[in-house]
Structure 1
Amino acid sequence: MTFRPASHYINDSLHIDADILVSALPYFDYIDGVLHIDGVSSLELAKQYGTPSYVYSQRAILDNYQAYSRAFASLDHQICYAVKTNSNLAVLKSLAQIGAGFDIVSKGELARVLQVTDGKKVVYSGVGKTADDIEYALNADICCFNVEAVSELDTISQVATRLNKTARISLRINPDVDAKTHPYISTGLKSNKFGISHQAAVQAYLHAKQLPYLQIVGIDCHIGSQLIDIQGFSDALDKLIELIDELKSHGIHLEHIDLGGGLGVRYIDENPASVDDFAKLLLPRLRKLGLKLYLEPGRSLLANAGVLLSRVDVLKPTEFKNFAIIDASMSELIRPALYEAVMAIIPTDTRNAREIHTWDIVGSVCESSDFLGKDRACGLQVGDILAITGAGAYGFSMACNYNSRPRPCEVMVDDGSHRLIRKRESLADLWRDEII
């Protein structure tokens, strides 16, 4: 077998940086050389539940939520978890039980939330709400619609009038602020499809004021995701404050301000701002406003609370590249293929010294874009179990059945105990709803 030798790579995470990376993850530790997730051996989890498997720490999720609650405790506030991040019912129920609200972007997400709580803490975002979606949300008595277009105001008013129900609305403003993130997850520029432009906002509010069965309660923005530089939040807040003051001159007085989510996390070597730093930046101006604050975090609650466990199935060294083919793929974790995201991939067992080589860690899907990590210096053998960190967010929620691959199971770990929270799909599940 011909191997490409290892050299130094900035994103080397599988051998040299494993201990450093794990030290930044709450409730993830190496005990006697084996990766443990909140007191449970990852090797035992892989043995019992198989691979690939998503594994989440419940305590890490709840701690991340509480960090927001503590940081903004001096304000009347509601933290609304962004359901698109990870919509498993066990995750939603855990958050609902400690007071979380929910930010949704579809009727399906609302239906999920209604399985664990009522609609009163739900804010409904999203650019393409239909009349059917709006009726479903009004009947669920949601807290607020985050409206993204003037035509949406008309549709909400028409449905609300027909149902004889008042719709509480907030307008999502596009502040044209550069979030300095990947263009696919930037949402606050004027070139993005989201929100109503800052220039058109006042006229949109005046239009809403004239429509029947609408109650104007708030103003909203969301500028992007995985934001390492939090200055964009500050710039967006300043623009919203300008609008709030102008709206008062038109007799429109708001009850809340919603600054969305998007706070970044560490995947490899990022240095994101803490929730406390985020709060310190915004709190002085928010206190002066005197409005209730809504926030919609997702990634920062779930990403580093979860891993994707995967087994090495094939080692394929070549003259040009060494390929380690694992049983996870872009079907289970599409972020590297879609966003060129660099995810940490660490060993679950460090007890045996291995010769280090440089590998591209890939899946078996028939696409050249099917990779989980490139140029990783590590020692590997067939059968090794690897942990892809950061997979709690946008892992299962973006998973698919491409190449007719059954989706993995999901497991929740909590202080030494563990339980299945979603069964692994079977082959029969792949065609269960098809009609021959």
Structure 2
Amino acid sequence: MADLFGRDDGPAARHPAPGAFEASAPRPLAETLRPRRLSEVVGQDHLLGPESPISRMVAAKRLSSFVLWGPPGTGKTTIARLVSAEAGIEFLQLSAVNAGIADLRKVIETARHVRNALGRQTAVFIDELHRFNRTTQDALLPHVEDGTVVLIGATTENPSFSLVSALLSRARVLVVNRLDRMSLGQLLDRAERHQGRQLPLDPDARDALIDMADGDARYLLNLAEDLLGLSGPDILDVAGLSRTVQKRAAVYDKAQEGHYNLLSCFHKTLRGSDVQAALYWAARMIAGGEDPATLFRRLACAASEDVGMADPQAMPQVLSAWDAFERVGWPEGRLFLAQAITYVATAPKSNAAYRAFDAALELANRTGSLPPPKHILNAPTKMMRELGYGAGYQYDHDFPEAYSGQEYFPEELTGAARPEFYRPNERGFERDIRKRLDFWEKARAQRRRD
């Protein structure tokens, strides 16, 4: 029967076989350029080099279970497929986002049949493995252990936090790196060769495009596909690129490891007095959508833990900046956040105060309920006075320099090695404190002699 345009190509054209159009159907550039051999994977030489764990398994044609941990768009799925193919074993794939125990059981039954009937291994690739709950992960364990399946997992979350320990003990964790600029540049070269034309970008815009991808190959190739599809001869500069495509959102999970990693970076740069890096990590967190209160809480901790008495104004500075931020809000509030960061990062540092309290806690826990000296106990009743409470107390303001030099520790702690918890440093305000402590210690020793 002829079609509306007078053509009649017969039954095969009217009823094409399943998949007949698959080869000619349009596919995203990222899928078209997906590596077909492990040697084509870029940026992961530590995993795929000649002496790497994966290369040794592929050469032996026998896989053991492993989990690929890394950010999105770095080739985890591609590596899993190619490892299985080059090792010559069966490959089955699940996504933990939409699969459950029932789906897992079907895959395991297939793998068991392949092992029993053909004597071959089956690799079960589970994408987003961290999304499986504990029950589902536990259900997978015995089949990994007895060799029914070789587990290849992929996760963007730290496996130490997201996978059960029993599964971790049976699967090696391999870190997949964020793609660097050189690797992303190689992917752009491949895209241009495949399309037979150059990206319509000047050199600075090409560099900016790589920055926009933020280490994600898939996102980069999607951007490149959009640009290669533009009509017209115009070469875009950085401003034109920004108008044409959108920057990739930063990878930052406020509730998971990304949050704690960047918070750790922020605090350690404050402690290390690197104000430039402290501002950078704070900006990274804010750009990722972090609540500024999280940064102020960390600043308050650093103001005490790391600055302490070397600059007692650090804490009031942070708290007043925090208060101003809550009153004014964003975006003007960034002024107060910046001031607090720069103050804490550039302040002299001392952890003497909190280390002193830790030492005091240790002694208190070790020595138990030692009775205090009676002369510093209150004596509100006659009976207490008769028991000696308050007897011999010396009111410090009655002495020169308002200092009596009296003993305040329990008697058991006042031997030759009187406890000394707080040892101020020769930095910032603690220089003055050290002078005071030295003065008081000399005065105490003199009054004991007197």
- TM-score (norm: length of structure 1): 0.19
Higher-RCO chain (CA-CA 8 Å, sequence separation at least 6): 1
Structure having the larger proportion of residues in strand:
1
The structure number with the bigger radius of gyration is 2
- TM-score (norm: length of structure 2): 0.19
